[in-house]
């Protein structure tokens, strides 16, 4: 009986529990049905409003490097700083407690405003939030502007952002301080104006595609492929869920040598300041390959200030002046019109032809009278060259122009720089171009033709390169994640511009221009230079070659060095100098000489055996790459203790008396290497080799790196290094 009663109680309790669960389930089911069918549309709209599907994710734009791996253009992350005063974790009492030290910290980092100004700014944001709160309580609808209150007017870089997050109150983190950021990506050039116009720019302040230079030519490769993500708000956070990951842009390895580029730009700028010229161009080319090692185009921005404004070297279609006489002489020698020792009577420096007067530069001093054909090049005699060309082609000018075409002067160079000009040499048989009786003699010494400086350099480079004309180029390789995908090699435009005999004669003339002629100011005690001066009057539009107050000139020098075994060719063009007598030898030639001597000194190894060992002091050795450090120490015969286990890693150097100690740097995979004390080249190499993307500021040796050595790294992570 008792057992049956117990069983009945248990059944009753189970039934009660089951009924309770049933009621709860029924209530839940009813609520689900109500939400799904009655409020469903509104909830679905709310859910959709918190999700943004198919949001484009920008790829990281590729870098542009010099030929030795130094960064010339990169994308730097900059940040706008905001405070969300509505953040749930913000404690007003804590904020007021740390307001003063926070304002003082901001003033130390950004002294353009006082600590009082920063204090007032933060207080204004806090009061704005209180006003918005009061309005909402009164039933009014307000936009919560204090949720996105700008803390600083200027954007900050990653290093500054890390320091800001260490300031009082802000170091509490995003949800307790309300501090959050918006990231922007800006294109920067670590080496400033060096080759700036050739490297190019992008549209707008931030990345919106290439505007000019290599940035435009290779824009599709540099910009990469954007990804797609879904952005949604959940739990008070913005969550990004990648759908398609972006493909970062590819890197461009240029032919530019930073050291040669620096030499070239400084030499040109110095002469522009001295002569107060309107603009100047200088290009250095490697003779055998056609690689452009340096290119600078400086124009007067305002009085006393010159900067890169236009790529004159490739875009300007200008009358080359007397450098063109070399082409005329080659044509005449090839057609056997003249021999170098034949003489020409240039008289007193004034020659009348077809009703026009032709002058030599020394006509006021009585002219050269009778000179040889070779001397007409040495002394840059307009009359001498004009008489040679008239002798051979007066009755058949088309043959002369055909000879110029055979030299490759008008061959397309297919440069990587958008907007490049083309060489234009008119032909007497052309129905669209005007040809007068004076065209032939004036063309012979560089007028009535239009040739960009880089085309003229290509022609002189062919003379230096044993007659083989190679096209100049600016990009050596295209890389993707450090691996070369495309390699550019030298491209031949013409295998021979003239016979070996003519080439030998013309090279002798170019050497004598410097040894005995108008190029005498270019002569160097350190490196043998060959080349040709040029001085041309600049047409003043309807006024012809004579402007209102006198003449405007363009002076140039084009040549190569060392003359016996040419390695580099170069052209220097200076336009409208205000100070000094316009002279291709003194002005442009002076720049050329400086470039040649400094480049030759930097690229030529000198034996140290002549120096007594006692006269050599142990130099301060930078941290850097092992093989380069060992090479220098061995060459200078400096004793060192090698404690490096491998020969391919970076090393740290310390001195112990007269002994240099080499210690290996930890370069374990996945770890940020220590680049403190290294030069820019070695530091960037080490960090990028580890998989990091590098931002660089300053010059000298590394004294700060934004990510601490030994930290676990993420591939593609950005690190900023500061040098001084």
Q: Which residue has the higher pLDDT, 544 or 61?
A: 61
pLDDT of residue 224: 84
Least confident of 32-46, 123-137, 575-589: 32-46
pLDDT in tens, 130-182: 888 888 888 888 788 888 888 888 888 888 888 889 998 888 888 788 888 88
**Residue 10: both structure tokens together:** 């248990």
Arithmetic mean of pLDDT, 401-407: 95
Arithmetic mean of pLDDT, 77-81: 87
pLDDT in tens, 255-297: 999 999 999 999 999 999 999 999 999 999 999 999 999 999 9
* pLDDT higher than threshold 60 for residue 605: no
The H or E element that residue 158 is part of is helix 158-164
Shared domain for 306 and 354, answered yes or no, is yes
Residue 369 covered by a domain:
yes
Q: Which residue has the higher pLDDT, 269 or 59?
A: 269
Shared domain for 624 and 544, answered yes or no, is no
pLDDT of residue 231: 65
Residue 63 covered by a domain:
yes
The CATH number covering residue 709 comes to 3.30.10.20
Cβ-Cβ contacts under 8 Å for 707 (sequence gap 6 or more): 672, 692, 713, 717, 719
pLDDT band, very low/low/confident/very high, at 516 (cuts 50, 70, 90): very high
pLDDT of residue 548: 37
Residue that is last in its domain, among 574, 603, 632: 603
Shared domain for 13 and 146, answered yes or no, is no
Structural domains in the chain (count): 4
- In the chain, what percentage of residues exceed pLDDT 70? 84
**How many Å apart are CA 332 and CA 350, to the nearest integer?**
22
pLDDT band, very low/low/confident/very high, at 638 (cuts 50, 70, 90): confident
pLDDT of residue 59: 80
* pLDDT higher than threshold 50 for residue 608: no
pLDDT in tens, 118-131: 999 988 988 888 88
> Domain containing 110: what range?
56-250
pLDDT of residue 337: 95
pLDDT band, very low/low/confident/very high, at 95 (cuts 50, 70, 90): confident
Q: Which residue has the higher pLDDT, 471 or 55?
A: 471
Residue 608 covered by a domain:
no
The CATH number covering residue 327 comes to 3.40.710.10
Least confident of 302-316, 560-574, 610-624, 648-662: 610-624
Residue 497 covered by a domain:
yes
Residue 124 covered by a domain:
yes
User: Across all residues in the chain, what is the average pLDDT?
Assistant: 84
- Per DSSP, the three-state class of 567 is coil
**How many Å apart are CA 636 and CA 616, to the nearest integer?**
8
Residue that is last in its domain, among 186, 216, 250: 250
E strands, 348-480, in order = 350-353, 356-359, 370-372, 424-425, 449-450, 469-470, 475-480
**How many Å apart are CA 102 and CA 124, to the nearest integer?**
15
Residue 718 covered by a domain:
yes
* Residue-by-residue DSSP string for 683-700: HHHHHHHTT-EEEEEESS
Arithmetic mean of pLDDT, 471-480: 94
Shared domain for 265 and 222, answered yes or no, is no
Cβ-Cβ contacts under 8 Å for 583 (sequence gap 6 or more): 518, 521, 533, 535, 555, 589
Shared domain for 719 and 573, answered yes or no, is no
**Order of strands across the sheet that contains 237-244:** 51-57, 227-234, 237-244
Most confident stretch, 553-567, 591-605, 681-695: 553-567
Q: Which residue has the higher pLDDT, 254 or 200?
A: 254
HSE (CB half, 13 Å, CA atoms) of 6? 3
Structure pTM? Answer: 0.73
Shared domain for 652 and 687, answered yes or no, is yes
Residue 505 covered by a domain:
yes
pLDDT of residue 148: 86
According to DSSP, residue 573 is labeled E
Handedness of CA 601, 606, 611, 613 (dihedral sign): positive
- Per DSSP, the three-state class of 514 is helix
The CATH number covering residue 245 comes to 3.90.1310.10
Residue that is last in its domain, among 250, 276, 299: 250
**How many Å apart are CA 516 and CA 380, to the nearest integer?**
11
Angle at 136 between CA 135 and CA 138, to 5 degrees: 65
Q: Are 368 and 378 in contact (CB under 8 A)?
A: no
Shared domain for 108 and 140, answered yes or no, is yes
* pLDDT higher than threshold 90 for residue 505: yes
- Per DSSP, the three-state class of 251 is strand
Q: Which residue has the higher pLDDT, 192 or 440?
A: 440
Shared domain for 426 and 289, answered yes or no, is yes
**How many Å apart are CA 251 and CA 78, to the nearest integer?**
21
Number of neighbours of residue 577 by Cβ within 10 angstroms: 23
Q: Which residue has the higher pLDDT, 337 or 708?
A: 337
* pLDDT higher than threshold 50 for residue 550: no
Residue 233 covered by a domain:
yes
pLDDT of residue 295: 94
Shared domain for 479 and 374, answered yes or no, is yes
Shared domain for 61 and 85, answered yes or no, is yes
pLDDT of residue 492: 95
Closest CA to 520 of 446, 599, 593: 593
**How many Å apart are CA 143 and CA 146, to the nearest integer?**
9
HSE (CB half, 13 Å, CA atoms) of 568? 27
**Residue 445: both structure tokens together:** 């010494």
pLDDT band, very low/low/confident/very high, at 472 (cuts 50, 70, 90): very high
Q: What are phi and psi of 698, to 5 degrees?
A: 85, -175
pLDDT of residue 378: 95
Shared domain for 200 and 331, answered yes or no, is no
Shared domain for 444 and 504, answered yes or no, is yes
The three-state (H, E, C) secondary structure of 473-499, written as one string? ECEEEEEECCEEEEECCCCEEECCCCC
**Residue 298: both structure tokens together:** 């400086």
- Per DSSP, the three-state class of 633 is helix
């Amino acid at each position: 009986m008792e057992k049956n009663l117990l069983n009945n109680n248990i059944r009753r309790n189970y039934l009660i529990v089951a009924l309770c669960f049933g009621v709860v389930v029924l209530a839940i089911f009813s609520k689900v049905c109500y939400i799904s069918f009655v409020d469903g549309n509104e909830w679905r709209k709310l859910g959709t409003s918190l999700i943004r599907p198919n949001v484009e994710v920008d790829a990281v734009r590729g870098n542009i490097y010099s030929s030795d791996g130094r960064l010339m253009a990169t994308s730097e992350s900059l940040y706008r700083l905001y405070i969300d005063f509505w953040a749930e974790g913000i404690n007003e009492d804590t904020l007021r407690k740390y307001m003063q030290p926070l304002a003082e910290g901001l003033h130390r980092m950004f002294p353009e405003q006082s600590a009082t100004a920063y204090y007032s700014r933060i207080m204004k944001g806090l009061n704005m939030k209180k006003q918005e709160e009061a309005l909402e309580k009164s039933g009014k609808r307000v936009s919560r502007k204090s949720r996105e209150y700008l803390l600083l007017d200027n954007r900050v870089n990653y290093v500054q952002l890390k320091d800001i997050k260490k300031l009082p109150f802000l170091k509490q983190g995003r949800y307790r301080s309300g501090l959050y950021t918006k990231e922007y990506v800006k294109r920067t050039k670590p080496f400033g104006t060096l080759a700036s116009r050739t490297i190019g720019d992008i549209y707008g302040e931030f990345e919106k595609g290439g505007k000019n230079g290599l940035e435009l030519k290779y824009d599709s490769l540099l910009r990469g492929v954007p990804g797609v993500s879904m952005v949604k708000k959940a739990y008070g956070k913005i969550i990004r869920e990648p759908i398609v990951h972006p493909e970062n842009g590819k890197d461009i390895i240029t032919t530019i040598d930073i050291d040669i580029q620096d030499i070239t730009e400084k030499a040109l700028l110095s002469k522009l300041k001295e002569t107060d010229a309107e603009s100047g161009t200088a290009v250095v080319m490697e003779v055998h390959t056609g690689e452009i090692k340096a290119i600078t185009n400086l124009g007067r921005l305002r009085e006393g200030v010159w900067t890169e404004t236009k790529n004159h070297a490739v875009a300007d279609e200008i009358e080359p002046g007397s450098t063109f006489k070399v082409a005329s002489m080659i044509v005449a020698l090839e057609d056997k019109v003249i021999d170098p020792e034949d003489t020409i009577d240039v008289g007193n420096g004034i020659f009348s032809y077809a009703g026009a007067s032709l002058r030599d530069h020394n006509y006021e001093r009585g002219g050269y009278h009778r000179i040889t054909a070779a001397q007409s090049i040495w002394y840059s005699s307009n009359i001498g060259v004009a008489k040679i060309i008239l002798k051979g082609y007066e009755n058949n000018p088309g043959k002369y122009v055909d000879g110029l075409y055979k030299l490759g002067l008008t061959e397309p160079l297919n440069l990587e720089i958008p907007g490049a000009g083309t060489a234009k040499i008119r032909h007497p048989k052309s129905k669209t171009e005007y040809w007068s009786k004076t065209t032939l003699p004036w063309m012979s010494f560089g007028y009535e033709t239009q040739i960009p400086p880089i085309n003229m350099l290509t022609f002189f480079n062919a003379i230096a390169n044993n007659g083989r004309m190679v096209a100049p180029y600016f990009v050596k390789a295209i890389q993707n994640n450090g691996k070369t995908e495309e390699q550019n090699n030298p491209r031949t435009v013409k295998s021979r511009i003239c016979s070996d005999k003519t080439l030998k004669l013309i090279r002798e003339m170019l050497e004598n221009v410097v040894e005995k002629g108008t190029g005498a100011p270019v002569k160097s005690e350190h490196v043998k230079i060959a080349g040709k001066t040029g001085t041309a009057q600049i047409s003043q539009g309807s006024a012809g070659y004579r402007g209102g107050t006198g003449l405007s000139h363009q002076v140039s020098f084009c040549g190569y060095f060392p003359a016996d075994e040419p390695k580099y060719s170069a052209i220097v063009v200076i336009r409208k100098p205000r100070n000094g007598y316009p002279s291709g030898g003194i002005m442009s030639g002076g720049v050329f000489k400086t470039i040649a001597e400094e480049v030759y000194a930097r690229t030529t190894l000198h034996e140290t055996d002549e120096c007594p060992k006692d006269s050599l002091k142990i130099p301060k050795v930078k941290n850097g790459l092992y093989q380069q450090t060992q090479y220098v120490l061995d060459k200078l015969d400096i004793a060192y203790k090698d404690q490096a286990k491998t020969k391919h890693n970076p090393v740290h150097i310390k001195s112990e008396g007269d002994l240099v100690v080499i210690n290996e740097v930890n370069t374990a995979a996945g770890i940020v290497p220590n680049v403190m004390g290294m030069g820019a080249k070695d530091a960037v190499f080490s960090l990028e080799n580890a998989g990091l993307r590098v931002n660089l500021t300053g010059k000298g040796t590394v004294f700060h790196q934004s990510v601490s050595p030994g930290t676990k790294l993420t591939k593609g992570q950005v690190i900023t290094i500061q040098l001084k």
